[in-house]
Amino acid sequence: MNTTTCPNISFSFPKRFLPPVYIVVFIIGLIANGWGLKSLSHNWKKLGNVSVFVLNLGLADILYLLTLPFLIVYYFNGTTWIFGDAFCKVTRFCFNLNLYCSIGFLTCISVYRYLAIVHPMRVMGRITVTHSVAISVIVWMLVSLQSLPDMFFTKSSANETGKCFDTTSDEYVEAYLRYSFVWTLIGFCIPSIITLSCYGHMIFVLCCNDNIDEALKQRSLKLLIILILLFSVCYIPYHILKNFNLWSRVLLKQGICYEWFNGVYVGHRICRGLVCLNSALNPLVYLHVNDGIASQLRQLFLRVCQTVTQLSTNSRTALVSLRNA
């Protein structure tokens, strides 16, 4: 511990790490979500009530993906924001909206799947598309209300012109830490417990019941793996390190410094990049809820492999012909 000077924090790290991540997520995310939503429109009736949540999940992803070019410019420009303070807040708001709407709609999908498999007779005919639409509207409203206070926090500093903070300036970091903690509890922890509980019980029921179709068991297990992947890669590390980073800033403001501050800062930046991967990984849900899309993906993969093999064969044939000539 050193109360006079602090270890050098790698503030230049995000400039090197985040732009390539954002570029990859922007390209893959737009292609994957665009293709997924197109396939969803062709299989709307087949998917039933869950299709409403999948649609909203895709729209939330695309909303955030459209803000990534501005963040790419921001980091390529040496973390100098040139689009105005109001749009900075809108961009950060879209990130929060996408993140917590994704968690919310994944939770809704999980609950619907749980009810359909574990309590099919109780919900048969009682859950309609209207209910799904109403629940989706409630999710958007709750997440918007939860994210709205973030827009009232300062996103720039008088000492650092042109900045666009993803949280707030040091002046208000204590209040933001309290807000972030409550936000994490309500927007992440509670939905996560609901989601994992639903799938934990559902997998238990499926494994203990020999009369249930084996294909249904496999699909449910695959979705559980996808959710574990999303939560372990995108959501859990981000929320932990976000709050730790805010806490380190509070301590730093009080003149208390530890060597782990730099590690927490770099880790938080890495998790900031990883959490935006949810916009590219969420389309995996389309593959689960729609077997037709999975079949299309396999066919596309086979066509690509056949094309590559044919090109390779033609190239070898051409080389042999040139040598013989």
Summarize pLDDT for 180-192 with one digit per residue, the tens: 999 999 999 999 9
Judgement on whether residues 106 and 88 belong to the same structural domain of the protein: yes
Judgement on whether residues 248 and 303 belong to the same structural domain of the protein: no
Six-digit token pair at 157? Answer: 């500093």
Q: Determine the Cα–Cα distance for residues 238 and 242; give it in Å rounded to an integer.
A: 6
Inter-residue contact 98 to 61 (CB < 8 Å): yes
Pick the most confident of 36-40, 86-90, 293-297.
86-90
Judgement on whether residues 170 and 309 belong to the same structural domain of the protein: no
Judgement on whether residues 212 and 151 belong to the same structural domain of the protein: yes
Domain span holding position 110: 13-289
What per-residue confidence (pLDDT) applies to 7? 66
Judgement on whether residues 213 and 297 belong to the same structural domain of the protein: no
Is the pLDDT score of 279 beyond 50? Answer: yes
Judgement on whether residues 254 and 318 belong to the same structural domain of the protein: no
Is the pLDDT score of 304 beyond 60? Answer: no
Question: What's the chain's Rg over C-alpha atoms?
Answer: 23
Is the pLDDT score of 322 beyond 70? Answer: no
The pLDDT tens digits of the residues spanning 116-144 come to 788 877 776 677 888 889 999 999 999 99
Judgement on whether residues 323 and 271 belong to the same structural domain of the protein: no
What per-residue confidence (pLDDT) applies to 221? 74
Is the pLDDT score of 4 beyond 70? Answer: no
Judgement on whether residues 221 and 307 belong to the same structural domain of the protein: no
Instruction: Give alpha helix (H) positions in the chain.
Output: 13-42, 44-47, 50-65, 68-76, 85-118, 120-123, 129-147, 173-184, 190-208, 214-230, 236-253, 260-275, 278-281, 284-289, 291-324
Q: Is 160 left (phi over 0), alpha (psi -120 to 50) or beta?
A: beta
Q: What is the reported pTM? A: 0.83
Inter-residue contact 94 to 67 (CB < 8 Å): yes
Q: Determine the Cα–Cα distance for residues 223 and 90; give it in Å rounded to an integer.
A: 32
User: What average pLDDT score do residues 30-42 get?
Assistant: 80
The pLDDT tens digits of the residues spanning 220-264 come to 777 777 777 778 888 999 999 999 999 999 998 888 888 888 899
Burial class (CB in 10 A: 0-12, 13-18, 19+), 255: exposed
